[in-house]
Amino acid sequence: MTIYSHIKHFAVVAVLTTGFGLALPAAAIDLDQARTQGLIGERADGLVAAVAPSSAADVRALVDTINAARLAEYKSIAQKNGTPLEAVQAVAGEKQIQRAKENKWYVMDASGRWLKP
């Protein structure tokens, strides 16, 4: 069975894009706002990163929070399906990048450069 046969298990990815309903301080930015403002972009490994290396503390904290939650979910999916974590991240990354392109959010290319469709 290939990783692609487990796509139905990746409905969780939709949840991953909403920030997991995490309770952040009222002044803090949320994931969709950060992506729309070009502060955070999607990576091929299913994680996010700050577009500017000198991002504000709230942006860096959001990146850390989102990535920790996504990675925990990816590990859970990998363990449940007996699939390598990297394969789960690759499928999630494809989905996240497609969504980012549709919404004109930043995407990191293979060389580490940020592109905005």
User: Does the structure show a pLDDT above 90 at 84?
Assistant: yes
pLDDT of amino acid 28: 67
Identify any residues that bridge with 42 across adjacent strands, giving them in sequence order.
Answer: 48, 107
pLDDT at 10: 44
99, 105, 107, 112: CA torsion to nearest 10: -160
Burial class (CB in 10 A: 0-12, 13-18, 19+), 21: exposed
Q: Give the SS3 label for residue 49.
A: strand
Break the chain into its structural domains and give their ranges: 3-115
The answer to whether 50 touches 40, Cβ cutoff 8 Å, is yes
SS3 for 41? strand
The neighbouring-strand residues paired with 108 are 114
27/63: higher pLDDT: 63
pLDDT 10s digits, 92-105: 999 999 999 999 99
91 residue type, one letter: V
pLDDT band at 2 (very low <50, low <70, confident <90, very high): very low
The string of pLDDT tens digits covering residues 4-58 is 444 444 434 434 444 444 444 444 689 999 999 999 999 999 999 999 988 899 9
pTM over 0.85: no
